[in-house]
Amino acid sequence: MPVSPSFRAFVLEQLGRVVHGIRGRSMFGGVGIYSGDLFFALIADDTLYFKVDDSTRGDFQVQGLAPFRPYGPEGEEMQYYSVPAELLEDADALKEWAEKAVEVARRAKRRSARQGRR
């Protein structure tokens, strides 16, 4: 899952233009991307992935975008899907997609907090 320093810098710069509080954190050879305390994206193998749930997964699937599979093509599918490369060059579209991913992360965090109180 190596990430080139130039791709990491480019993605963080582009996202920083459209989403508040962007920061990247190295993890397992990749990069976790946060908006504040919300983990909403990741970079692996110089590919950007956004967090999805049932409300947004179809937007990615209809475009034939692939899920993140950290253990190879036959491995488990995680709740992140690759982002179209051209999105990184279109600030308006990137903002829309990124905000949806941040909202997915926000909902997941609320669900997790509710489950923790049980």
Q: What are phi and psi of 74, to 5 degrees?
A: -100, 0
**Architecture of the domain defined by 5-116:** 2-Layer Sandwich (3.30)
Contact 12, 33 (CB under 8 A): yes
Measuring CA to CA, how many Å separate 66 from each of 23, 32, 76, 85, 116? 24, 18, 12, 12, 31
Residue 86 DSSP code: G
Question: Structural domain boundaries of the chain?
Answer: 5-116
Each of the 118 residues of the chain gets a pLDDT tens digit; together they read 689 999 999 999 999 999 999 999 999 889 999 999 999 999 999 999 999 999 999 999 999 999 999 888 888 999 999 999 999 999 999 999 999 999 999 999 888 777 766 5
Global pTM exceeds 0.85: yes
pLDDT of residue 1: 62
pLDDT of residue 29: 85
Contact 72, 11 (CB under 8 A): no
CA distance linking residue 116 with residue 10, whole number of Å:
36
Dihedral over Cα of 17, 89, 56, 23: its sign: negative
